[in-house]
Amino acid sequence: MDECIFCKIANGGIPTDFIYSDENVVAFRDLNPQAPVHVLVIPKKHYSSGIAVDDPAVWGNLMSSAVKVANSLGLEKDGYRMVINTGEQGGQTVPHLHLHLLAGRNLGWPPG
Ligand code: DGP
């Protein structure tokens, strides 16, 4: 996945400050934040979207890492939202599975 921007971020090809990193996952600030806190949590392994995930452990690692990041940022006090845009109608623009962690303001519902 030489061309994938999130693969490049995950493997260090694009210098990025990681908020969290372990053997399976990295987390970093979104380039275009939609809330005061906007973190992306991604698997290091390339999956074009959640549809491509073939191992339930990927979901476990992604979600548990996102909760760790939320707790490390103190977000459990006021709450937060996790979003995984999937495919065209889901609003996905980067074809590497990623979880958005959003917080720091009242988030509207339903989403646009
Ligand atoms: P989505 O629309 O769900 O595919 O979200 C993709 C997000 O990725 C979007 O909020 C902007 C962010 N993004 C795109 N390119 C980069 C990048 O090079 N660095 C960072 N930190 N974020 C990026």
Based on the residue annotation, tell me whether 38 is a catalytic residue of this protein: no
Residue 43's pLDDT band, with cuts at 50, 70 and 90, is: very high
Residue 47, number of CB atoms within 10 A of its CB = 19
Assigned token pair, 102: 């959003």
Q: Can you tell me the distance from the alpha carbon of 4 to that of 14, in angstroms, rounded to the nearest whole number?
A: 11
Looking from the CA of 107 toward its CB, the CA atoms found within 13 Å total: 19
Q: Is 5 in the pocket of ligand 1 (CB under 6 A)?
A: yes
31 lines ligand 1 (CB under 6 A): yes
**CA dist 34 to 7, 24, 49, 86, Å?**
22, 25, 21, 17
Does the pTM of the predicted model rise above 0.85? yes
pLDDT in tens, 51-70: 999 999 999 999 999 999 99
Q: In the predicted model, is pLDDT for residue 94 greater than 90?
A: yes
Token pair of 62 as six digits: 């992604």
